[in-house]
């Protein structure tokens, strides 16, 4: 059956596959025929993701803390060659600018920006990214229009969006494409862990023209488009998926 969005025959590495957008991406990629390599820090949660995927024998779990360069190197050494890389793992920290500490910067930039940069570099250095591969960086709508008290997170996501565009230029000779997706608020554990009550969340949701937050699988489908041959002539783009909130 004709399907330009099929991932049959492709091997895809998904970071942060233990929850949220990463978990949804791994599951949806598998549904479309990909062999998925799942990585993250929490082994039991990665195994939980794997149990949600049909035909688990095709897929691989390689636990790694991407905040540790030695573990990134170990991950790359253990991996098969891949046709797609989803740099998704990330954390947040809501803090007004006047209260930012150096350790806040180190932690967020280390996880959200430096780790995907180093992972991408190591995959290239070890020749684990096949020619014609696609890289997708999960950035954020906050990189374009930051919220109050969200400056560090927004800055890290802007950094990887810029890095993605550099990858698109530098790797084009190998027909390796690089793009970023920029979600608005998505119903994930990261959102649930924010210090907001139900009334505050409802008020924030009302800012969105579509009057709701996104679902993890809605971001996953956009990522799959960028991984698939349907986007073979797409590189260096910043795809916003935000329920229209940037229109406000």
User: 210-235, pLDDT tens digit by residue?
Assistant: 999 999 999 999 999 999 999 999 99
Q: What's the pLDDT tens digit per position in 177-207? A: 999 999 999 998 766 666 567 888 889 899 9
Mean pLDDT of the region 64-93: 96
Q: Does residue 144 contact residue 240 with C-beta atoms inside 8 Å?
A: yes
Q: Look at residue 119 in the predicted model and tell me its pLDDT.
A: 98
Question: CATH number for the domain including 106?
Answer: 3.40.50.720
Domain tally, the chain = 1
For the chain, the C-alpha Rg in angstroms (whole number) is 17
99 lies in some domain: yes
- Do the domain assignments include residue 202? yes
**CA angle centred on 51, ends 48 and 56, rounded to 5°:** 130
pLDDT number for residue 202: 87
* pTM of the complete model: 0.96
Report CA dihedral (110, 224, 158, 76) to the nearest 10 degrees: 30
Q: Is residue 41's pLDDT more than 90?
A: yes
At 200 the pLDDT is 83
Which residue is catalytic, options 153, 208, 213, 225?
A: 153
pLDDT of residue 55: 81
Residue 19 inside a domain? The answer is yes
Q: Which residues contact 105 (CB under 8 A, 6 or more apart)?
A: 152
* 135-146 per-position pLDDT tens digit: 999 999 999 999
The mean pLDDT value for 76-96 works out to 96
Residues in the chain: 248
Is 78 domain-assigned?
yes
Q: Is the C-alpha dihedral spanning 8, 13, 19, 25 positive or negative?
A: negative
213 belongs to the catalytic site: no
- The answer to whether residue 75 sits within a structural domain is yes
Residue 165 lies in a domain: yes
Answer yes or no: is 240 within a domain: no
For residue 243, being part of any structural domain is answered with: no
| Residues in Cβ contact with 192 at an 8 Å cutoff, skipping those fewer than 6 apart | none
The pLDDT, as a whole number, for residue 195 is 55
Q: How confident is the model at residue 57 (pLDDT cuts 50, 70, 90)?
A: confident
Query: Domain range for residue 154?
Result: 11-234
């Amino acid at each position: 059956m004709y399907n330009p969005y099929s991932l049959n025959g492709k091997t895809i590495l998904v970071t942060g596959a233990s929850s949220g957008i990463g978990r949804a991406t791994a599951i949806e990629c598998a549904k479309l025929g990909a062999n998925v390599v799942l990585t993250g820090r929490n082994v039991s949660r990665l195994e939980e993701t794997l149990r949600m995927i049909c035909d688990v024998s095709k897929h691989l779990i390689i636990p790694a803390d991407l905040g540790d360069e030695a573990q990134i190197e170990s991950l790359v050494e253990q991996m098969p060659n891949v046709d797609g890389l989803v740099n998704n793992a990330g954390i947040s920290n809501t803090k007004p600018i006047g209260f930012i500490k150096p350790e806040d910067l180190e932690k967020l930039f280390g996880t959200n920006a430096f780790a995907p940069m180093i992972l991408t570099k190591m995959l290239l250095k070890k020749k684990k990214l096949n020619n014609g591969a696609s890289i997708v960086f999960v950035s954020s709508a906050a990189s374009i229009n930051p919220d109050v008290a969200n400056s560090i997170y927004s800055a890290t996501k802007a950094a990887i969006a810029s890095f993605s565009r550099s990858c698109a230029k530098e790797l084009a000779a190998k027909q390796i494409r690089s793009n970023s997706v920029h979600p608005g608020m998505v119903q994930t554990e990261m959102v649930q862990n924010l210090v907001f009550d139900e009334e505050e969340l409802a008020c924030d949701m009302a800012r969105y023209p579509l009057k709701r937050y996104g679902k993890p699988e809605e971001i996953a489908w956009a990522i799959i488009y960028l991984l698939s041959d349907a986007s073979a002539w797409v590189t260096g783009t910043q795809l916003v998926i935000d329920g229209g909130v940037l229109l406000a």
